[in-house]
Structure 1
Amino acid sequence: MICQRILVRGRVQGVGFRYSARAEALRVGVAGTARNRDDGAVDVVVEGDAAPVAAMLDWLAVGPPGARVESVEVSELTPTGLSGFMIVG
C-alpha cells in the first residue's frame, strides 16, 4: 500500500478535472481526495496498491478532455487507510 500527493498544474480548474479524477480513481481502484487550490492547481491524494496508483498518476499527467496539464509534482505520504474517493471543497 502506498500513498502519494500529486499537485497538478495547468488548465485544470473549470474543466471537470476533479470529477473526472474521481471516476478514474474508482475505475482503477484507488482511494483518495481531490481539491482545487487557490493558485489554480488541483491537489490530489491517491492511496492504494502500487500498480493502480501508478495508473492514476499516468491519468493525472494527461487529465480529462479540455484540461491542459503543464506539470505534475509527486510526493510520498504515509498511507492512512483511506477508502473511497472524495472531492473536497
Structure 2
Amino acid sequence: MARICMHGYVRGHVQGVGFRQHTEEQAERLNLDGWVRNLPDGAVEVLFEGEEDAVNELAAWLEKGPERAKVTGLELEPQALQGVTGFVMRR
C-alpha cells in the first residue's frame, strides 16, 4: 500500500484537553510519522504520513478527538511526503 501525507487544522475546543497528547498516542499506535502543535488562534495543526489506511484512520479520529474535546472543524489536505521520522508534539 502507498504512503501518503496529510496536513491540516483542527478547530473547536481542542486546546487544554490533551488533544496533542492523544493525537501523538493515536499516531504512534498507527505507526505514523509527523507532528502536532497548538496555534495561537486556538486551533491545532497536524502533519502526518504513513500507510494510507492508517492515515485515513487518524483523519477519522481527528474529526472527534479525545473525550474532552469538541471538534467543530477539520481541514485536511494531501501533501507531498515530508520524510519525517517518528511523531512528535511541537510547542
Is the TM-score greater than 0.5?
yes
What is the Cα-based RMSD across aligned positions, in Å?
Answer: 0.7
TM-score (norm 2): 0.94
Distance 2:58 2:85 in 1: 15
2:16 maps to 14
Match of 1:45 among 24, 44, 47: 47
Distance 2:30 2:60 in 1: 11
Match of 1:65 among 46, 64, 67: 67
TM-score (norm 1): 0.96
Aligned residues: 89
Distance 1:30 1:56 in 2: 9
Distance 2:43 2:65 in 1: 12
Give the secondary structure class of the aligned counterpart of 2:57: helix
**Which 4+ runs in 1 deviate beyond 3 A?**
none
Distance 2:28 2:62 in 1: 14
Deviations 1:26-57 (A, max 9, x none): 11111110000111000000101110000000
Distance 2:39 2:86 in 1: 21
Unaligned 5+ segments in structure 1 are none
Query: What letter matches 2:90 in structure 1?
Result: V
Distance 2:17 2:78 in 1: 27
